[in-house]
Copies of this chain bind each other. A is one copy, B any other.
């Protein structure tokens, strides 16, 4: 996680939109056979590579199919030849990078020394939210809540592996919002059913990482909280379509993550105000993670060489693999 955090921090700090081209993601969403979406997140690093994450969000997966809500793969293509140079899992990568991105935003916008963390939504993403944030803040108390009681009750056991010295308390929305220094919302709230709460008291420096809002019509935070906070989207053009920012007027939205990271001293005072990181998921984070994973795969000699593209000896003959006439 520390290396994931460093990789994403470095990528965000050096992000230059003239050099790294990131279109907003596109895809398909539907209500049948399941409620879900499949989206494509491309990135083009000039002179180097193209990466493409394909990500599915199907909130009924855990209960109906014993599968994660988010399923994903990510692939990389060489811009010299167009050849696919690698394909790998995007499920674990997405969980790690979503956690690391929240940790980075929290370092930039949450109060130094924050020790009270709140987690609303106790699914797969909440595990890496806690993990990442616990690496950069002295977290002592974690208040958790999920409408799914089973997810809430199993959370402690799931984070055992992190070996954290923290007090994990099953809590409720009101206490989480009022007592926390940092909150992560990572829910599967349905389109049209948000926000998760309204009109609750909070500390003046509360920082919220709004992770679950990633779909048109799906929101986690109330508009009055957003309008009274400094809201930092990961990727503005995407956030206004599917993030918390879709609720907001453009002129009320704050600077994006790269701007804050690249001009951190200008935003120092935000650490003592209410702030929101509108995390819709940014292809830059995925590319940084895929590069890290490829580096690990090479060092550890894991992964396997698979031939997918049909490349024959005779590049101008699609049939050069054949021995006898075809029909």
Q: Is the CB of B34 within 8 A of A315?
A: no
Q: Which of B47, B83, B319 contacts A67 (CB 8 A)?
A: B83
Q: Which of B27, B47, B122, B326 contacts A131 (CB 8 A)?
A: B326
Q: Is the CB of A65 within 8 A of B81?
A: yes
Q: Is the CB of A80 within 8 A of B65?
A: yes
List residues of chain B with CB within 8 A of the CB of A83.
Answer: 56, 67, 71
Q: Is the CB of B318 within 8 A of A96?
A: yes
Question: Contact string, A37-70, partner B, CB cutoff 8 A, digits 1/0?
Answer: 1101010101100101011111001100111111
Interface residue count on the A side (C-beta < 8 Å): 83
CB contact under 8 A between A89 and B33, given known A56-B82, A315-B124? no
Number of identical protomers: 2
List residues of chain B with CB within 8 A of the CB of A319.
Answer: 127, 158, 161-162
Nearest chain B CB to A161's CB is how many angstroms away?
5
List residues of chain B with CB within 8 A of the CB of A82.
Answer: 36-38, 55-58, 61, 70-71
Specify the chain B residue showing the minimal Cβ separation from A68: B315
Give complex CA distance A162, B319 in Å.
Answer: 9
List residues of chain B with CB within 8 A of the CB of A69.
Answer: 315
Question: Contact string, A298-327, partner B, CB cutoff 8 A, digits 1/0?
Answer: 000000001011110011111110101111
Interface residues of A (CB under 8 A from B): 1-2, 21, 23, 26-28, 30, 32-34, 36-38, 40, 42, 44, 46-47, 50, 52, 54-58, 61-62, 65-73, 75, 77, 79-84, 87-92, 95-96, 122-124, 127-128, 131, 135, 151, 154, 158, 161-163, 306, 308-311, 314-320, 322, 324-327
Beyond A57-B82, A158-B320, A162-B319, 11 extra complex contacts between A and B, CB < 8 Å: A33-B47, A55-B82, A61-B81, A65-B81, A67-B83, A71-B311, A73-B308, A89-B308, A95-B318, A124-B317, A163-B325
